[in-house]
Amino acid sequence: MKHKLEVCLSPALLHLYDTTDCNVVIIDIFRATSTITTALHNGAACVIPVASVEECIAIGNQTPNSITAGERDGKVAPGLSYGNSPFEYPADFIQGKTLVLTTTNGTKLLHMVKGAANIIIGSFLNLDAIVDFLKNDDKPVVLGCAAWKDRFNLEDTLFAGAVASALQQDFAINCDSARAAIHLHDASNGAYLSFLKNSSHYNRLSGYGLIKDLEYCTSKNLHPIVPILRGNQLVGL
Amino acid sequence: MKHKLEVCLSPALLHLYDTTDCNVVIIDIFRATSTITTALHNGAACVIPVASVEECIAIGNQTPNSITAGERDGKVAPGLSYGNSPFEYPADFIQGKTLVLTTTNGTKLLHMVKGAANIIIGSFLNLDAIVDFLKNDDKPVVLGCAAWKDRFNLEDTLFAGAVASALQQDFAINCDSARAAIHLHDASNGAYLSFLKNSSHYNRLSGYGLIKDLEYCTSKNLHPIVPILRGNQLVGL
């Protein structure tokens, strides 16, 4: 019998899903999970996701060769050193370092998941690697959209649709959220950035002058790696 | 300036929306809001939506010329007289009567809404009447999907998309849920029932042998009436 695949559209709906022994994919396309994928593929030793700026500073202080990163309202948060753009983490900078990262939505969702077999990090940058991992590992799947302060967003759901669409022959899909995500992905025709134009995060981030980030975070398979949570660290598989 | 129009995909997300002085549309396509619309258009004096079977019986006992209705697991709930199918309420039966109705999802959402200017009841059966009401009444709009035990469903979101699509020139839409609903509605090409095939409620209700109900509840504009909450009663405008 096929395992089921479900999509959770917001952290505020996560309690409706039983994530025990599931593979859970955390999705925060703009930009946490794209940045984590980039940093690990570019050679970061690990990424430590944390909930608050204070925790970020504390863990940064006690971790050798680490850097602290996080934004609030589109700017590097006071007390931290770097932001939440994938462009800040090229190989010649991040190689061998520990990235301690705080974000508004993705980090929160990651810490809410209970009892999962694996928690992995998904983005368009590692889409096929995520699909292959889920296909090869014999477990039920929950695709968790980080959303924006619990509000549904289009880009995380679009990515969930890309994964669900690629896996619909391999899993049982009896979840209207997954069906809707697949419809949205079909409607995009693979032109992700133009599909997302005028969406709420597109408007917010382009207002900060971050069009290049939006283009990058909607590019497929630049970084074929699976970030996976081990203890409190995300490492690359 | 245009008023905003937002879509709330589940009662579990309603706290993210400020419904004060808004027109709020309650949407529970399969089948509460379709049945309410049918009963009122067919001449029911009013519909009293209640949360529990016990309350339904109590209010039924104290209301002259009333009938009690509600289902649990697809059958008339013990202690009540009728079910939740629009076919149970033709004009020659329901005319002049008070329908005391308990449902799992629509009723719950209706009672959660706070401070709204108006709470009205939407279904495909009164789609254009709802659109006209919202267009003519100068207030922000929240389209509230009743969902299924807080889980997103496709048919309520499809209806929200039909309304949002018809109103997108008249309202400001800065809400990804509304954008997604419009995409889903576009994807349906107006063939609602076939679009909903294999959705979770389609499967559940067709499993009870209720295909005719599904067909009826996805028919447009059979009952051009706007059910609106006055005190604890829904009456037809």
Task: Give contacts of A199 with chain B, Cβ < 8 Å.
Answer: 176, 179
For residues B132-161, average pLDDT:
97
Decide if pLDDT at B145 tops 80.
Answer: yes
What topology does CATH give the domain A5-40+103-229? Answer: putative 2-phosphosulfolactate phosphatase (3.90.1560)
The residue of chain A with its CA nearest to that of B7 is A152
Determine which of B16, B142, B152, B182 to mutate to test the interface with A (most A C-beta atoms within 10 Å): B152
CA distance B154 to chain A (A): 6
Mean pLDDT of chain B, nearest integer: 96
Q: Which of A150, A177, A203 sits opposite B152 (nearest CB)?
A: A177
Q: Note whether B14 and B111 are within 8 A (CB).
A: no
Mean pLDDT of A214-235: 97
Min Cα distance A200 → chain B (Å) is 6
CA dihedral sign, ordered A92, A96, A97, A102? positive
Chain segment B198-225, per-residue pLDDT in tens: 899 899 888 888 899 999 999 999 999 9
Q: Predicted confidence band at A208 (pLDDT cuts at 50, 70, 90)? A: confident
The pLDDT of B150-168, averaged and rounded, is 98
Q: Looking at residue B84, what is its pLDDT? A: 93
pLDDT tens string B30-49: 999 999 999 999 999 999 99
The correct answer on CATH 3.90.1560.10 for the domain covering B5-236 is yes
Query: Which of A100, A111, A110, A106 minimizes the C-alpha distance to A57?
Result: A100
Give the pLDDT confidence score for residue B72 in this predicted structure: 83
Residues of B with CB under 8 A from a CB of A: 9-10, 12-13, 16, 149-154, 157, 174-177, 179-180, 183-184, 186-187, 198-200, 203
Predicted local distance difference test score (pLDDT) of residue B220: 98
On chain A, the residues whose CB falls within 8 A of the CB of B200 are 174-176
E-assigned strand segments in A11-155: 23-27, 46-50, 66-72, 75-76, 98-102, 118-122, 141-145
B9 and B147 Cβ atoms separated by less than 8 Å: yes
Maximum alpha-carbon separation in chain B: 51
Please check the confidence at residue A75 and state whether its pLDDT lies above 90: no
A8, A130, A135, A179, B2 from A3: Cα distances, Å: 16, 16, 10, 16, 47
pTM of the predicted model as reported, rounded to 2 decimal places: 0.96
State the smallest CA–CA distance between residue B216 and chain A in angstroms. 21
Classify residue A84 by its DSSP letter: S
Check residue A72 and give its pLDDT.
83
d(CA A122, CA A227): 8
Residue found under tokens 């619309």: B37
- Is residue A209 pLDDT above 90, yes or no? no
For residue A69, give every residue at least 6 positions away whose Cβ sits within 8 Å of its Cβ, in sequence order, or none: A56, A76, A80, A81, A82, A83, A84, A88, A99, A100, A101, A102
Q: Which amino acid is at B137?
A: D
Distance between B43 CA and the closest CA of chain A, angstroms: 35
User: Given a cut of 90, is residue B80 above it in pLDDT?
Assistant: yes
* Chain A residues contacting B via beta carbons under 8 Å: 9-10, 12-13, 16, 149-154, 157, 174-177, 179-180, 183-184, 186-187, 198-200, 203
Residue B137: pLDDT over 80: yes
Q: How many CA atoms lie within 13 A of B114 on its CB side?
A: 7
